[in-house]
Amino acid sequence: MASNMDQVTSQKIDPEEDDDTAELLGLQDKDFTEILAALEERDHEKLKELFEELGPYDKADLLEKINVSNREDFLKLYDDLFEPEVFAYLHEEVRKIILEGMGAYQIAGIISELDSDDALDLILPLDEEFQHEIIRKLSSKTRLALEEGLSFPEESAGRLMQREFVAIPQFWTVGKTIDYLRAAGNDLPDDFYDIIVIDPAYHVVGEIPLHRLIRATRSEKIEDLALDDTHPIPATMDQEEVAEIFRNEDLASAPVVDEDDRLIGIITYDDVIDVIDEEAEEDLLKLGGVEEDDLYRSILPTAGARFRWLFINLFTAILAAAVISLFEASIEKIVALAILMPIVASMGGNAGTQALTVAVRALATKQLSGTNAWRVIGKETAVGLVNGTCFALIIGCVAGLWFQDPKLGAVIASAMVMNLVVAGFFGASVPILLDRFDIDPAIASSVFLTMMTDVIGFFAFLGLATIFLL
């Protein structure tokens, strides 16, 4: 038994295994140090050796984390180390800064090597005039693809799709399809998971997963093999709805169609994963009063973007202070009230934030709607009552023993129950109400919730103290 435990322990601390795991997780601090040292020495051969082990994502991570001076040196002196795919992985703010320092011809050269969806993402953050200047430098095929992509609404399926796909006529056989795929070779997309079956008018009539095609006999007809359950996505559909379809149907890819239901592109699961990640990140940031990821933005734009919500919070804080001022005489007589007030407000705010987070996320994923809204609100209110009762017993005993006043303990216990019930109710109901009025609940909910928990918490605690202690 001891020898087995020793073996398990040795496996857990095996440094070689830790190194292998670290490589899967991307660049480590020691890698940055080694690369930057080679850059400072202008050792091109050493850099080439180090970069051979890096993928496009790692190189993009490097460009994002190093300072502006080192980034400029890399791109000016060693641009041959950065393949076009690297720019597709860059954070939008960093990519914009880098591309704005390049010429239109250079950017056009990068775009020509990318899939159409990545090419479109590359130029979207740039000024419209600069976009058109770049597009004019491209081949007619790529130019048309980008111009079409730009014509679709922002955050739509048309912006998300790629124009490289595999489509075959419904009257082909499996054998002819396989021969076609082999002959096409490098003309095929780098990655594809389904073959789209179309009629002569380019309407989608079926989808065939690759594994199903490979298992079929050569003589079998495509129309007999194609799945009837197709998932054509309108090019104007919002990307959140696209992600919802992929999640519900467990899709690897789906065709995109125009207003005449003709096939114009395809969306793959990797693009949808990015959308889900972006939407989740967006909701998380908005809950904190940050409208977008500003990690790579300069100081003044970041401060300006955050100022608006801090300004609104200032008004809610003034409102809470006004409530406190109504009980100024009570606070002067019982100093303990000033000491205990923040506890009630803090607990209410935290409990409300928990309910708020659940509600906002449920709204974003369509798990919360008018059908179950009152059930969710009722549950969160009940949770507030249960937790409020538990914490009321704790804080009531602590306050009563601390200030040798059982009545004071009873007052803060009562206020705690009231505020946590209010926090649960408003934490769930405010996002639902804002959503009904087409106001983004992720942005506005926290401000209203803070106002309600602070105002009601202070009013309940100080009001009860005034009634029963004075």
pLDDT score recorded for residue 160: 93
Spell out the domains of the chain, with CATH numbers in brackets: 17-155 (1.25.60.10), 167-287 (3.10.580.10), 299-469 (1.10.357.20)
Burial (CB count within 10 angstroms: exposed 0-12, middle 13-18, buried 19+), residue 136? exposed
Please, which residues have CB within 8 angstroms of residue 211's CB and are 6 or more apart in sequence? Answer: none
pLDDT score recorded for residue 293: 62
The span from the CA of 263 to the CA of 22, in Å, is 42
pLDDT score recorded for residue 24: 55
pLDDT score recorded for residue 292: 65
* Residues 376/362, Cβ–Cβ less than 8 Å: yes
Q: Which three-class secondary structure state does DSSP give residue 257?
A: strand
- Report yes or no on whether pTM surpasses 0.75: no
DSSP string, 75-143: HHH-GGGS-HHHHHHS-HHHHHHHHHTS-HHHHHHHHTTS-HHHHHHHHTTS-HHHHHHHHTTS-HHHH
Tens-digit pLDDT profile for the chain (470 aa)? 444 434 434 444 454 445 555 555 578 888 889 999 999 999 989 999 999 889 999 999 999 889 989 999 999 999 899 999 999 999 888 999 999 999 999 999 999 999 888 999 999 989 999 999 999 999 998 999 899 999 999 989 999 999 989 999 999 999 999 999 999 988 888 888 999 999 999 999 999 999 899 999 999 999 888 876 788 999 999 998 999 899 888 999 999 999 999 999 999 998 898 888 877 777 777 666 666 666 677 777 777 777 777 787 778 788 888 888 889 888 887 889 999 999 998 999 999 989 998 998 888 777 888 889 999 999 999 999 999 999 999 999 999 999 999 999 999 999 999 999 999 999 999 999 998 988 888 777 888 888 899 999 999 999 999 999 88
Specify the pairing of strand 167-169 against strand 194-198: parallel
How many other CB atoms are there within 10 angstroms of residue 183's CB atom? Answer: 9
pLDDT score recorded for residue 8: 39
Please, which residues have CB within 8 angstroms of residue 152's CB and are 6 or more apart in sequence? Answer: 158, 159, 235, 236
pLDDT score recorded for residue 16: 47
| Among candidate residues 234, 227, 239, 228, the one with its CA nearest the CA of residue 260 | 234
pLDDT score recorded for residue 152: 93
The span from the CA of 351 to the CA of 344, in Å, is 11
pLDDT score recorded for residue 25: 59
pLDDT score recorded for residue 39: 92
The span from the CA of 417 to the CA of 120, in Å, is 54
pLDDT score recorded for residue 216: 92
pLDDT score recorded for residue 12: 45
pLDDT score recorded for residue 290: 67
The span from the CA of 370 to the CA of 39, in Å, is 58
